[in-house]
């Protein structure tokens, strides 16, 4: 079993929620400071962030789930690329909205060309992130298989024989037998 991340799950949850809460606090402060400033650029950016707040929150939560599943061992990390691919589509949607805001702010149509290929970008991003995620899982899995075979070869060189599951089972049976024999002897001594 491979460990796909060096960070623990509570640490991931704590840091991601901390980052999201800090962002929400800063947005709250910016909303209240907007009343004191008469800058229309500032107001448009804050209105944009207010209108996309749910997109940002949902995207952050889906990325959090992707990172949580990615921190698990092999069979349990398989949903991670699905979460990451879904959140990446939401990220691209947020970027498109940001480009539209920039077009409005500078009063140009620079990013209008991206609107023509938007319907192609969403599935393409989803597929690329999904394939990349599963290929990363397979590479990590193959690396652990290689390291496991190297470890087995080193053990064979040291001890002269390769340890198998039968050896482990026999050892466990002998330990259990010794333990039960010890318990039986202690019971017979007390009688």
pTM: 0.67
pLDDT at 1 over 60: no
pLDDT at 5 over 60: no
Judge if 119 and 180 occupy the same domain: no
Within a domain: 4: no
Judge if 128 and 152 occupy the same domain: yes
Structural domain count of the chain:
2
Which pLDDT belongs to residue 56? 93
Range(s) of the domain holding residue 15 = 9-160
The arithmetic mean of pLDDT across residues 119-129, rounded, is 93
Judge if 142 and 171 occupy the same domain: no
Which pLDDT belongs to residue 42? 83
Within a domain: 1: no
Which pLDDT belongs to residue 2? 37
Judge if 146 and 52 occupy the same domain: yes
Within a domain: 184: yes
pLDDT band at 3; cut points 50, 70, 90? very low
DSSP the chain: -----SS-HHHHHHHHHHHHHHHHHHHHHHHHHTTT---HHHHHHHHHHHHTHHHHHHHHHHHHHHHHHHTS-GGGGTTHHHHHHHHHHHHHHHHHHHHHHHHHHHT--TTHHHHHTHHHHHHHHHHHHHHHHHHHHHHHHHHHHHHHHHHHHHHHHHHSS---HHHHHHHHHHHHHHHHHHHHHHHHHH-
Judge if 90 and 47 occupy the same domain: yes
pLDDT at 189 over 70: no
Within a domain: 52: yes
Within a domain: 2: no
């Amino acid at each position: 079993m491979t460990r796909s991340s060096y960070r623990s799950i509570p640490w991931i949850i704590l840091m991601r929620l901390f980052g999201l809460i800090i962002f929400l606090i800063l947005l709250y402060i910016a909303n209240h400071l907007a009343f004191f400033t008469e800058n229309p650029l500032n107001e448009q950016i804050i209105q944009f962030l207010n209108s996309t707040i749910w997109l940002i929150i949902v995207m952050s939560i889906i990325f959090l789930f992707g990172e949580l599943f990615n921190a698990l061992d092999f069979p349990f990390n398989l949903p991670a690329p699905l979460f990451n691919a879904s959140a990446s589509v939401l990220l691209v949607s947020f970027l498109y909205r940001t480009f539209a805001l920039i077009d409005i702010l500078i009063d140009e149509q620079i990013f209008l060309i991206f609107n023509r290929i938007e319907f192609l970008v969403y599935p393409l991003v989803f597929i690329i992130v999904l394939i990349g995620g599963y290929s990363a899982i397979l590479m990590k899995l193959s690396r652990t298989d290689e390291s496991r075979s190297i470890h087995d070869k080193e053990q064979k060189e040291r001890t002269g024989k390769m340890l198998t599951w039968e050896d482990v089972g026999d050892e466990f049976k002998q330990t259990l037998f010794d333990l039960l024999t010890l318990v039986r002897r202690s019971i017979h001594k007390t009688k």
